[in-house]
Structure 1
Amino acid sequence: MKIADRARPAPRALPDGISPDEVTRATNRLVAYVSGRTDGDGAIREQCESRVLESALALALMTRTGDVYPARDRLLAYLRGHQESPDTLDRVLASLAVGGAVGRVPDNDSTLVGTLAQGVLGAAPGFISDRRRLMVYAVLTVLGCPLPADAELPGGGAVPTDPLHSWAAVQQASITLILAASLGVRNRATDTALETLLATDPGATVWEGYALMHLLVLHALAGTPGQETTVRRGLATLLRHQRTDGGFPFVLEMHNWCTSTGGLALHAAGADPVLLRRMAATLAAQRGGAHLRSLSRGAALTGGWSMSPIVAQNDVDDTSCALEFLQVVDPVAHAATVRDGTAALLAVQGADGGFPTYVRDASSEPCMTAAAVCALGPHPETEPQRAKALAFLADHQLADGGFEPGWSRSRLHSLFRVRLAACTAGPDDARTADMAARIERTVRETQNPDGGWGMQPGDPSDDVSTAYGLITLCHADAPGPVGAALTWLLGRQQADGGYGGPPDMVGPRPFAYHFPLLTDIPVLLAFGHVRARLLNRPGALQEAR
């Protein structure tokens, strides 16, 4: 995220109408705001906000068990507040859960399930479409909807053997039991699924801090004879994590992700080196993740970073950002950690040159590949692997210059990361240069008249997407669009120095979740790129490649 193209000199001045002092003041205010969210050890322990999906499943589980909890009234109030949501899926989920809780029978309309599933699939990568379709079916089924005619068990009802990371394996097992209960099926696949779910110890813990998966597991077990005590204990465990607004979050925490991305942004913006070293030391100590049994099928990434200390599942994104941060803060002090983390990252590179999110031999993804390339950039010995990865990115660029959806609702997210990955290419790599030029062109062409960008072309401008667009164009010869974007962002800063707007991060794809600071961090990173490219202040963005 921090690599600059040193072959192209920074412009000598900011675009007309913007003063360096104005940009510096805004940057310093945001640096203070993000720095103020760090704990004494440097970690950023941001809290995930409530989401309708998990909240609806929690209320449905309370209704299903027939138990009355003091938390139920607050949860009902939260969901009632979303029954008129502009988001179709949120509106339907809230209405179904509330209706079930008050004894209202839903319409016997299986077309609703199919319609909602199609809407979800349109925003998810193609390689997970079947998995996501069946997940939507399972969720709506436990909320009282009938199954569509094309409902089937994952994998056609066979015991799964494909490479899959732990979270997806547990999700698949949950869906298998939920759908099997409705379809009246019991076979080896359902027996295997039950073993997988019980391995998460759902009565005692929210496995890996993943509240959504915990709820799917409990709903799957609620339809399995003999699991009543486990379900009740698991629900009581979940209730400890109810948010103040009455709802429940997607996950309990993402401390490593918030710390690494926040650290990169703070470093780019010239934050206190003492704070940065403290953040890096804390992050370095988290390499490897929690010591829990892996439920992955295939060779999962190990020896990297997970999204939080309570999570065992390592991933390419967290590993890449952690490596970048350690390398820019103190590559000498963290040399051994960086060496081992880099080896872990390279171990999951696919034969096609790309990188998956979690497990070797799973589908490679453009956004993860770009993240890995940026992390590998400072290491000359990885040039052959980076060349293959850049070729993968060029092969997978779409006709409009963009890429398949990744882990963000914003089209600009993959674009800015691939553009930064392209900065690691050699001067003779014409294909990567062409890919970068096409990225710059589509970003310029999709800029809104107000200077910002929305999640998708034509959407209203939002803070996160505009930050992504600005970072991209900081590496292009586009002073007019850069000035318009910077003016838009400067005008959006809040009284406390922070930023707002809709969340862009998704999980599981394409369901958006919200850690408020994950809006501030991309904007701060954008200001850091402006600092290096336009204010001509060498720093994080112009250090070692």
Structure 2
Amino acid sequence: MAEYIAGQQQSDGGWAYAEGVRQTDVDDTSFCVEFLRAVNPEKYKEYISKAEAYLLAIQNEDGGFPTFVRGNPSEITMTAAALNALAPRSAEYTNVFEFGLRYITSQQRLDGSFERSWSLSEAQAIFRSVLAMRTCKVVQSPQLLESIYTAEVKALDYLRISQNSDGGWGHQLGDASDVISTSYTLIALSSLGDAETLRRGTDYMMLQQDEESKFVSIPDQAAPRPIPYDVPILTSIFALLALKYTAAVITE
């Protein structure tokens, strides 16, 4: 699989959404970088290096990252995605991270949520932003550190109040629970704490497998926004990822 992914890298260092697509983007590139690094960072270091250069060149003057090209409007999830992909080298890119994290904290809504971007679920932007904010060890500014702390508290409060009585979460506050939104939320909560909320969400997840042991959810992706489209395999991928995160916390 890693060989296939590496072979799909385009000449600008980025990756596109699918075979035959020429337009590269921050979202897919960030996922591919994290995957190749997890598989074998030494073997794929040239691919990773080219992708990092691609991401660094796209950051906008406001500190955020757009989806496709520099100068397009910055987006929360794209900014978080890029910072997460660059995280292992955050000490080398202190300014990139400070500008990016400042953008993320400045765009948080009063209720603790963020703009949803290419997802229909508010929890996707929250979990990716929370993971990005966890790189704050490279931040030197006391004011920014305080902003990050405040943003994390607000995100945690929002996730607490939006949890449904069955233990799961929906696309937005008040929506019926679905597996993929719950998965996103559990990843965020694993970093933010609150073991009881986490445990209730995990209990919900454990009841959602079908007779073939798959996890099934309503569509989460949107394109053109806000028209939904379904990628069924994503549900099981994020469900398993979420359970990996929660296991490390609940069993402590």
Q: TM-score, normalised by structure 2?
A: 0.94
Which amino acid is the alignment partner of residue 125 of structure 2? S
Which amino acid is the alignment partner of residue 332 of structure 1? E
Superposition RMSD in Å: 1.4
Matched, 1:282 2:4: yes
In structure 2, what is the equivalent of residue 516 of structure 1?
Answer: 232
The 5 Å alignment of 1:155-166 reads none
The alignment of Structure 1 onto Structure 2 pairs a total of residues equal to 246
Contact 2:195-2:249 within 8 A present in 1 as well: no
Q: CA deviation at 1:477?
A: 2.4
Matched, 1:421 2:132: yes
Taking the aligned partners of 1:528 and 1:305, their CA distance within structure 2 comes to 27
Matched, 1:361 2:71: yes
Taking the aligned partners of 1:357 and 1:480, their CA distance within structure 2 comes to 36
In structure 2, what is the equivalent of residue 389 of structure 1?
Answer: 100
The CA deviation string for residues 3-41 of structure 1, in whole angstroms up to 9 with x for no partner, is xxxxxxxxxxxxxxxxxxxxxxxxxxxxxxxxxxxxxxx
Taking the aligned partners of 2:59 and 2:92, their CA distance within structure 1 comes to 15
The CA deviation string for residues 124-161 of structure 1, in whole angstroms up to 9 with x for no partner, is xxxxxxxxxxxxxxxxxxxxxxxxxxxxxxxxxxxxxx
Report percent identity of matched pairs: 37
Taking the aligned partners of 2:45 and 2:217, their CA distance within structure 1 comes to 38
Taking the aligned partners of 1:409 and 1:366, their CA distance within structure 2 comes to 14
In structure 2, what is the equivalent of residue 398 of structure 1?
Answer: 109
Residue aligned with 2:88, SS:
coil
Q: CA deviation at 1:479?
A: 1.3
Q: Which structure's CA Rg is the greater one?
A: 1
Which amino acid is the alignment partner of residue 486 of structure 1? T
The one of 39, 53, 57 equivalent to 1:347 is 57
Contact 2:198-2:246 within 8 A present in 1 as well: no
Q: CA deviation at 1:366?
A: 0.5
Taking the aligned partners of 1:515 and 1:477, their CA distance within structure 2 comes to 30
In structure 2, what is the equivalent of residue 175 of structure 1?
Answer: none
Taking the aligned partners of 2:220 and 2:172, their CA distance within structure 1 comes to 11
Which amino acid is the alignment partner of residue 39 of structure 2? V
Which amino acid is the alignment partner of residue 494 of structure 1? D
In structure 1, what is the equivalent of residue 170 of structure 2?
Answer: 454
Which amino acid is the alignment partner of residue 287 of structure 1? Q
Which amino acid is the alignment partner of residue 350 of structure 1? N
The CA deviation string for residues 513-539 of structure 1, in whole angstroms up to 9 with x for no partner, is 011112211111101212333346xxx
Contact 2:64-2:104 within 8 A present in 1 as well: yes
In structure 2, what is the equivalent of residue 490 of structure 1?
Answer: 206
For structure 2, the 5+ residue unaligned runs are none
The CA deviation string for residues 308-333 of structure 1, in whole angstroms up to 9 with x for no partner, is 22111100000011111111221111
Taking the aligned partners of 1:532 and 1:326, their CA distance within structure 2 comes to 23
**Stretches of 4+ aligned residues off by more than 2 angstroms:** 427-430, 531-536
Residue aligned with 1:408, SS:
coil
Which amino acid is the alignment partner of residue 315 of structure 1? D
Matched, 1:433 2:149: yes
The 5 Å alignment of 1:74-473 reads 279-288=1-10, 302-379=12-89, 380-426=91-137, 429-473=145-189
Q: CA deviation at 1:281?
A: 2.1
Q: CA deviation at 1:494?
A: 1.2
For structure 1, the 5+ residue unaligned runs are 1-278, 290-301, 537-545
The CA deviation string for residues 460-514 of structure 1, in whole angstroms up to 9 with x for no partner, is 1111111111111111221111111000000111121111121110001100001
The CA deviation string for residues 380-400 of structure 1, in whole angstroms up to 9 with x for no partner, is 212220111000001111111
In structure 2, what is the equivalent of residue 251 of structure 1?
Answer: none
Which amino acid is the alignment partner of residue 29 of structure 2? T
Contact 2:57-2:70 within 8 A present in 1 as well: yes
The CA deviation string for residues 55-91 of structure 1, in whole angstroms up to 9 with x for no partner, is xxxxxxxxxxxxxxxxxxxxxxxxxxxxxxxxxxxxx
Taking the aligned partners of 1:341 and 1:477, their CA distance within structure 2 comes to 32
Taking the aligned partners of 2:193 and 2:70, their CA distance within structure 1 comes to 38
Q: CA deviation at 1:350?
A: 0.1
